[in-house]
Amino acid sequence: MALLNVLCYPDPRLHKVAKPVGQVDARVKKIVADMAETMYEAPGVGLAATQVDIHERIVVIDVSDEQNELRVFINPEIIWSSPEKKSWREGCLSVPDFYDEVERPAQVKVRALDLDGKEFEIDADGLLAVCLQHEMDHLQGKVFVEYLSMLKRTRVSQKLKKRAKELLGER
C-alpha cells in the first residue's frame, strides 16, 4: 500500500470528470487499498479517486466512530434522492481547514459495485448520505465550495493559494 498525494483546491485537476471503471481487477483493488490508507492517514471520512488524481469512478468511505468499517463504491450512481433536504457542515481533504454548511437531500439510494465487482444497493441517511453525495460530486469534478457564494469561494481559493506558496517556501 502507499499514501497518495491529495490534490488541493483550486487545483484544476479536481474538475476533471471521472470515467467508469471497466473491470474490478487487481489494479483497481490496489487503487482502493491506497485510497483507504490515504483516507485513514489524513484522517478523513471519505475520499474520491479524483482527489488523488485518478479519474475513475471510485469512492472510499468510513463514517464509523472506530474508523473500522471501510465502504467501497465503484461506479456509484444515485438512483433516488429524498425530497427532504438537510444542511450539514462539510469539510474536504482537498480544502484543508475550511468548513461550511451545504444543503443536500437528506437520504439517497445508491447503486454501485463492490470490490468483487458485484452490484449492490444501499439506502443512506445522516453522515453517510452527505458523504456519498459529497464524494460523488468529486467524481463529476465538483468540489463542495462550489455550492457556496462566489465571495466565499474566492476567499477560500485565495487563502489556499497563499498557503500552498508558503508550504513551497518551507521546502
In the complex, least distance from residue 60 CB atom to Ni ion, rounded to whole angstroms: 12
Per CB under 5 A, which region of 11-19, 88-96, 97-105, 112-120 contacts Ni ion?
A: 88-96
Q: Which span (7-15, 67-75, 89-97, 162-170) binds Ni ion, by CB under 5 A? A: 89-97
Residue type, 101: E
Show the cell assigned to 73.
Answer: 463504491
Q: E strand or H helix at 165, and its extent?
A: helix 150-170
Interface residue with Ni ion among 36, 59, 92, 139 (CB under 5 A) is: 92
Q: Is 59 in the site for Ni ion (CB under 5 A)?
A: no
Q: Report the C-alpha gap between 75 and 18 in whole angstroms.
A: 10
- At a CB cut-off of 8 Å and minimum separation 6, what does 137 contact? 143, 144
Sole window of 19-27, 67-75, 86-94, 114-122 interacting with Ni ion (rule: CB under 5 A): 86-94
Residue with Cβ nearer Ni ion (49 or 92): 92
Distance CA 60, CA 70 (A): 7
CB of residue 94 to Ni ion, shortest distance in Å:
5
d(CA 17, CA 139): 6
Least distance from Ni ion to the Cβ atom of residue 25, Å: 26
Whether 135 is a known active-site residue: answer yes
| DSSP helix/strand/coil, 15 | helix
Q: Which residues form the interface with Ni ion (CB under 5 A)?
A: 92
Q: Which residues participate in catalysis according to the annotation?
A: 135
